[in-house]
């Protein structure tokens, strides 16, 4: 190994030089305070290590439902139709009043569990099935984001 001060190839020791711990040779150790050697740890027997398999599952495969458009408006209308205040609805689904307000204003997308509770309490449907998207592309070159945006504008 090489000394961190002079660069000489030598047996090194730990030293505190100008407040910095460094690995230095015997010659350069005079510029600082030599620190005691660290005790080397004994090798620990290898434990069973779980083999890590790369994640190859399509995360979108299980996403078959999405929130309907204007979900906040639908929740608010259903709540008012039932004659419930935000406080009462929040108590029934286990959410704070401010959370219900943010959900109704679409400032906060509710977790799926909360959506299911809202569907049950308000007797409305907030999830819709996701349709598979088909992208039309006839050119030989690779598809770009710009191509996708152009296709989306045409449809």
pLDDT of residue 131: 73
CATH code for the domain in which residue 72 is found? 1.10.260.40
pLDDT of residue 142: 74
Q: Is residue 6 part of a domain?
A: yes
pLDDT of residue 58: 61
pLDDT of residue 139: 61
Q: Which of 77, 117, 75 is nearest to 94 (CA)?
A: 117
Q: Which of 29, 32, 37, 39 is nearest to 16 (CA)?
A: 32
Structure tokens at 49: 């290590």
| Number of domains composing the chain | 2
Q: Is residue 125 part of a domain?
A: yes
Beta strand 65-67 with 127-129: parallel, antiparallel or unpaired?
antiparallel
End-to-end, the C-alpha distance of the chain in Å comes to 66
Q: Are residues 71 and 125 in the same domain?
A: yes
pLDDT (tens digit, 0 to 9) for every residue of the chain, 155 residues total? 788 888 888 899 999 998 889 999 999 989 999 998 877 666 666 666 666 666 666 666 667 788 888 999 999 999 999 999 999 999 999 999 999 999 999 999 999 899 999 999 999 999 888 776 666 656 667 777 777 777 776 65
pLDDT of residue 91: 94
Q: 95 with 84: CB under 8 angstroms?
A: no
Q: Is residue 140 part of a domain?
A: no
Q: 133 with 148: CB under 8 angstroms?
A: no
Q: Are residues 20 and 76 in the same domain?
A: no
pLDDT of residue 18: 87
Integer Cα distance of 142 and 149 in angstroms: 14
Integer Cα distance of 34 and 11 in angstroms: 14
Q: Is residue 16 part of a domain?
A: yes
Q: Are residues 74 and 21 in the same domain?
A: no
pLDDT of residue 95: 93
pLDDT of residue 40: 65
pLDDT of residue 80: 95
pLDDT of residue 84: 94
Integer Cα distance of 109 and 102 in angstroms: 8
Q: Are residues 123 and 74 in the same domain?
A: yes
Domain range for 124 is 65-129
Q: 141 with 107: CB under 8 angstroms?
A: no
Q: Is residue 148 part of a domain?
A: no
Q: Are residues 30 and 75 in the same domain?
A: no
Q: Is residue 149 part of a domain?
A: no
Report the 10 Å Cβ neighbour count for 89. 23
Q: Is residue 113 part of a domain?
A: yes
Q: Is residue 79 part of a domain?
A: yes
């Amino acid at each position: 190994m090489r000394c961190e001060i002079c660069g000489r190839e030598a047996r090194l020791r730990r030293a505190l030089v100008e407040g910095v711990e460094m690995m230095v040779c015997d010659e350069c150790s005079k510029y600082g305070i030599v620190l005691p050697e660290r005790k080397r740890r004994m090798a620990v027997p290898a434990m069973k290590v779980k083999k890590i398999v790369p994640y190859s599952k399509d995360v979108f495969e299980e996403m078959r439902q999405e929130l309907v458009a204007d979900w906040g408006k639908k929740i608010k209308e259903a709540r008012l139709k039932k004659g419930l205040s935000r406080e009462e609805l929040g108590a029934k689904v286990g959410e704070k009043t401010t959370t219900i307000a943010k959900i109704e204003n679409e400032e906060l997308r509710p977790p799926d569990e909360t959506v299911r509770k809202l569907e049950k309490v308000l007797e409305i449907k907030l999830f819709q099935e996701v349709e598979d998207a088909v992208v039309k592309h006839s050119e030989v070159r690779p598809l770009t984001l710009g191509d996708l945006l152009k296709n989306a504008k045409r449809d």
